[in-house]
Amino acid sequence: MRGSSSISEARWFAVTITLTTLSAITISAAAAAYIFKRKCNSLKSKINELESSLISCSDKCASERQGRIRAQKLLRKQLTQPKSQNPNLTSYPMIPIGTVHSCFSTRYGTPRQPLLVPLARACLVFNTTRVPPASLEGLADYSHCWIIYVFHLNTDLEKMWKHPSQSGFKAKVRVPRLKGGRMGVFGTRSPHRPCPIGLTVAKVEAVQGNMILLSGVDLVDGTPVLDVKPYLPYCDSIQDAVVPNWLMEDNLFSVASISFSEDFASSLENCWIMAEKKSLYASPGEFQSLVTQVLAWDIRSLSQRIRPHDVILKKEKDQLLGDTSDVDEHLDETAFVRDREQNSPNSMEVIYHLILEGLDVSYKIDHDGNVIVEKVSTFAVLDNKINSSYNYLTWKDKLR
């Protein structure tokens, strides 16, 4: 009996311990559940606070955005509102974002239209304070781009600051293809426009940092650029576009032939020793190919083609009278007297000068349109303006 009683007591003790343990576990679980609930409530409260704060911030941002929009509208209204003293004058703030460093040192020889000279290269350098290099990301994926620029070498830019009644704006301009005939300025691509803004297209050869290497350009060195946009064939190319009949004469400005004198190669080699450091071209041979492409078109003005000696006589007369007021314009004066026999204008031989990358390429052209390129020399006035930072070596590894 005593053994049976001991067994019962042991069982009762085991049951008691088990119940105590379960009770403790239950109490612990309840406590844990209470603590978890409190934490959940606390987190829920914080989430609600964060949601309220986020909504408040969103409302504040929306309010600030609406305020900025209203301020921008008012600013645009003020900028574009005609001034009280001149109710017809409206202006917009536009500042160049970059500058073109072109192979064409002067206006003379710069093609009349883009892509006519495939080897014509230029380096467009952006002002990094206005255009971060990241702005050019993606442009290298396009083959061509549009460039909006300023005709900064127009000789009549001062008219832009005059009252329209005093500006002397000419509604019609002389057109080379019409042999001096006049046409409305908006029916031409004349640089002399009410707003001297140009639009051109060029091939994108490479992009590096804040620079674009372009080819096929018709831009003179130093041209200020306002904007660059990618060329989109699906909307920029118009297959059934129509032009006037006077634009259909393809050979009007082409020359009959181009040849180089025996002295040309040696003179170019002598100049290339210094020019190579600043040139956008890999070799003298490539530079000679550029000369060939440029002179394949008769780049002379209408007056030079019709009366070349009159241009010379006028210049000589100005020099004899001591008129040097237009000394800067002489950079673009390309016809010079080589020899004079018996002081006869008919015996003058006119030599033209094409300035490419600071090199003076002298040539002559006969009445049949045959061009003879004589020699190359350095053009001291422009020699120091060519920046070696934009030379061929800069782009050698990126050229396609």
Give the max Cα distance, the chain: 162
- Between residues 72 and 368, the one the model is more confident about: 368
SS3 (DSSP) at 17: helix
Q: What pLDDT is stored for residue 7 in this prediction? A: 61
What pTM was computed for the model?
A: 0.73
| Residue linked to tokens 């006119």 | 350
β-bridge pairing 370-378 and 257-260: parallel
Q: What pLDDT is stored for residue 335 in this prediction? A: 53
- Give Cβ neighbours of residue 295 (< 8 Å, ≥ 6 apart): 255, 258, 354, 363, 371, 373
**Residue 242 half-sphere exposure, CB side, CA atoms within 13 Å?**
1
Amino acid at 83: K
Tell me the average pLDDT across 285-293: 97
Q: What pLDDT is stored for residue 329 in this prediction? A: 38
Query: Average pLDDT over the chain, rounded to whole?
Result: 81
State how far the Cα of 280 lies from the Cα of 286, in Å rounded to an integer: 10
Q: What pLDDT is stored for residue 342 in this prediction? A: 41
Q: What pLDDT is stored for residue 394 in this prediction? A: 87
Q: Is residue 336 within 8 Å of 312, Cβ to Cβ?
A: yes
Tell me the average pLDDT across 21-43: 75
Best-predicted range by mean pLDDT (36-45, 170-179, 341-350, 381-390): 170-179
Token pair for 380: 């001291």
- Between residues 303 and 400, the one the model is more confident about: 303
Best-predicted range by mean pLDDT (60-74, 182-196, 201-215): 201-215
- Give Cβ neighbours of residue 217 (< 8 Å, ≥ 6 apart): 100, 102, 104, 111, 114, 120, 121, 122, 200, 202
- Between residues 211 and 88, the one the model is more confident about: 211
- Give Cβ neighbours of residue 184 (< 8 Å, ≥ 6 apart): 171, 172
Q: What pLDDT is stored for residue 339 in this prediction? A: 45
Residue 125 burial (CB count, 10 A): 19
- Between residues 370 and 78, the one the model is more confident about: 370
State how far the Cα of 366 lies from the Cα of 349, in Å rounded to an integer: 10
**Burial state string for 236-254 with b = 16 or more CB within 10 A and e = fewer than 16:** eeeeeeeeeeeeeeeeebe
State how far the Cα of 129 lies from the Cα of 213, in Å rounded to an integer: 20
pLDDT tens-digit series, residues 117-130: 999 999 999 999 99
Name the pLDDT band for 39 (thresholds 50, 70, 90): confident
Statement: residue 142 has pLDDT above 70: yes
Q: Is residue 183 within 8 Å of 175, Cβ to Cβ?
A: yes
Q: What pLDDT is stored for residue 70 in this prediction? A: 80
Statement: residue 15 has pLDDT above 70: no
Statement: residue 181 has pLDDT above 50: yes
Q: What pLDDT is stored for residue 123 in this prediction? A: 97
pLDDT tens-digit series, residues 203-259: 999 999 999 999 999 999 999 999 999 999 999 999 999 999 988 876 778 899 999
Q: What pLDDT is stored for residue 145 in this prediction? A: 98
Q: What pLDDT is stored for residue 297 in this prediction? A: 93
